[in-house]
A = this chain, B = another copy of it.
Amino acid sequence: MMLTPRQQLILSAVIEDYVRMAEPVGSRALAKHEEIQFSPATIRNEMADLEEMGYLTQPHTSSGRIPSQKGYRFYVDNLLRQGHVDRSAGAFLKDFFTKRIDEVEQVVREVSTMLSSLTRQTSIVLGPNMYTEKVRKIELIPIGSGRAVAILVTDTGHVENAHVHFSEDIRVDDVEAIVNVLNDKLVGVPISKLRSNLYAELAEELSRTVERFEDALAVLSEVCQVTDREETVYIGGAANVLSQPEFHDVEKAQSILSLLEQGGTVTSWFPKDERGLTVRIGAENSVGALQDCTVMTTTYSLYGHPVGHIGVLGPTRMDYNRIMQILQYTSAALTEFLTRWSTGN
């Protein structure tokens, strides 16, 4: 069942040609490759075998072959020659990451547009989540008529806020009391723990120390809800799907673009609880509209924990090698940036 070296050679040649030209590749064309020393006839025989085994398909009898999903899978798993990002991309990336930026959000957003312009595909970036960060301070700022803004600052300087409603006649003391309890109990606690048992403990503490229990509870529940904030999704180069010949069919393109528009859906394309690089080819994506697409993703980390995802969406006919290199480089650089940033530049 294993492929002979020659078959592997031919398979990768087919894939690489097809990725470049977007057209079925025939035996004559392959024979011109310098690594390939056999005659077209031999190649034809091998290709017929590869087709029989399901690695190649023919759009119609007597046209060249194109890789099947199984073919791509084998290629990604066994034939990708690891390496470094190519010259120009490397320069571009190095340049990008030496620019000094210090707002995380801005960096993440720019990574998204950078990835899409470098790969000429659509990029998807999930902003870093804050689960591992710890509460630094909670503030409660009244803004009149029984309303206030609750502000939570994490140890890395993330700021989240939520609006809270109070009873009309709450007093400044009450507000202060609430804030004090919250800060006493929550400073230093990781965001991911806010929801859990702490909630009960805090509710109890509040009921003991604070007069305005309902109001305090309102604040507490708002504060805890930051846990539920979805990671922000940045999508770059969505228009690039239209430049792929496989999406000149407007219907397909539209279905993909509408998917991309619903930020929520996109989140689910990323493998949960998996770090490092993943490649989802065609039907492996489970989402119907992505049957002809490959989604390649990886994670970036802070203090050794993956905190966000970066990914590239393109046709199954994508330059796996190049994009993989770019993603890995970017992931590493982003991780490094985050560490530098969170330890004080």
Contact with B along A133-159 (1 / 0, CB 8 A): 000110101011111010101011101
Q: How far apart sit A229 and B33, CA to CA, in the bound complex (Å)?
A: 55
**Residues in B neighbouring A344, C-beta threshold 8 A:** 144-147
Q: How far apart sit A137 and B141, CA to CA, in the bound complex (Å)?
A: 8
State the Cβ distance, A188 to closest chain B Cβ, in Å. Answer: 13
Q: How far apart sit A345 and B168, CA to CA, in the bound complex (Å)?
A: 12
State the Cβ distance, A193 to closest chain B Cβ, in Å. Answer: 19
Check B143 against A156 for contact (C-beta < 8 Å).
Answer: yes
**Residues in B neighbouring A159, C-beta threshold 8 A:** 149, 151, 159, 161
A259 nearest CB neighbor, chain B only: B239
Whether, in the assembled complex, A253 has its beta carbon less than 8 Å from a beta carbon of chain B, the answer is yes
Check B151 against A153 for contact (C-beta < 8 Å).
Answer: yes
Check B141 against A147 for contact (C-beta < 8 Å).
Answer: no
Residues of chain A from 224 to 244 with CB closer than 8 A to chain B in the complex? 236-239, 242-243
Contact with B along A300-315 (1 / 0, CB 8 A): 0000000000000000
A147 nearest CB neighbor, chain B only: B344
Q: How far apart sit A103 and B163, CA to CA, in the bound complex (Å)?
A: 8
**From B143, B146, B258, B260, contact of A153 by CB (8 A):** B143
Q: How far apart sit A156 and B144, CA to CA, in the bound complex (Å)?
A: 9
Residue with the greatest number of chain B CB neighbours at <10 A, chosen from A136, A159, A237, A345: A159
A136 nearest CB neighbor, chain B only: B143
Interface size class of A (residues with CB under 8 A): 35 or more
Q: How far apart sit A123 and B284, CA to CA, in the bound complex (Å)?
A: 33
Check B254 against A243 for contact (C-beta < 8 Å).
Answer: yes
Whether, in the assembled complex, A200 has its beta carbon less than 8 Å from a beta carbon of chain B, the answer is no
Q: How far apart sit A60 and B205, CA to CA, in the bound complex (Å)?
A: 80
Contact with B along A92-115 (1 / 0, CB 8 A): 000000000011000000000000
Whether, in the assembled complex, A184 has its beta carbon less than 8 Å from a beta carbon of chain B, the answer is no
A160 nearest CB neighbor, chain B only: B159
Q: How far apart sit A258 and B235, CA to CA, in the bound complex (Å)?
A: 12
Whether, in the assembled complex, A181 has its beta carbon less than 8 Å from a beta carbon of chain B, the answer is no
Q: How far apart sit A70 and B260, CA to CA, in the bound complex (Å)?
A: 37
Whether, in the assembled complex, A257 has its beta carbon less than 8 Å from a beta carbon of chain B, the answer is yes
* A103-B163, A239-B260, A248-B250 given; 7 more Cβ-contact pairs under 8 Å: A137-B141, A145-B343, A147-B157, A149-B157, A157-B163, A238-B238, A242-B254
What are 28 contact pairs spanning A and B, CB under 8 A?
A136-B141, A139-B139, A141-B153, A143-B155, A143-B156, A143-B157, A144-B155, A145-B344, A147-B157, A147-B344, A149-B153, A149-B159, A151-B153, A151-B159, A157-B163, A159-B159, A165-B345, A236-B261, A238-B238, A239-B254, A239-B257, A239-B258, A239-B260, A239-B261, A242-B254, A250-B250, A250-B253, A257-B257
Question: 8 tightest A-B contacts by CB?
Answer: A145-B344, A239-B257, A242-B254, A159-B161, A239-B258, A143-B157, A149-B157, A141-B153
